[in-house]
């Protein structure tokens, strides 16, 4: 697929990438995947999907679900069966 050169679409994708801490290419792939699932092929439809994904990401950040510190804390939590695990040499 040839790259889309619409400035406003690229700006929304860049904001989405910034919110999710991913590359712009990954953000565009997310939008493309959502557009394919919804069978949207035109640029205004893709832009609307990108704006919807951006709004969802901002909502999740506001609720603390996507906060980097919250994700890191969740990854560091020990499961009940792993609490007494020790690595021996």
In a domain, 79, yes or no: no
Q: CB within 8 A of 68, min separation 6: which ones?
A: 21
In a domain, 80, yes or no: no
- Give the mean pLDDT of 54-60: 89
pLDDT tier, 84 (very low <50, low <70, confident <90, very high otherwise): low
User: What pLDDT does residue 22 have?
Assistant: 86
pLDDT tier, 80 (very low <50, low <70, confident <90, very high otherwise): low
- Give the mean pLDDT of 33-61: 91
How much of the chain, in percent, has pLDDT values that exceed 90?
44
In a domain, 18, yes or no: yes
Number of domains forming the structure of the chain: 1
Residue 36 belongs to domain spanning: 1-63
């Amino acid at each position: 697929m040839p790259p889309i050169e619409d400035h406003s679409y690229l700006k929304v994708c860049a904001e989405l990438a910034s919110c999710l801490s991913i590359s712009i290419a990954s953000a565009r792939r997310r939008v493309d995947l959502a557009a394919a699932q919804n069978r949207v092929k035109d640029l205004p439809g893709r832009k609307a999907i990108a704006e919807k994904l951006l709004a969802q990401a901002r909502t999740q950040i506001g609720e603390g679900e996507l906060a980097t510190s919250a994700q890191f804390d969740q990854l560091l939590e020990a499961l009940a069966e792993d609490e007494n695990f020790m690595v021996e040499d």
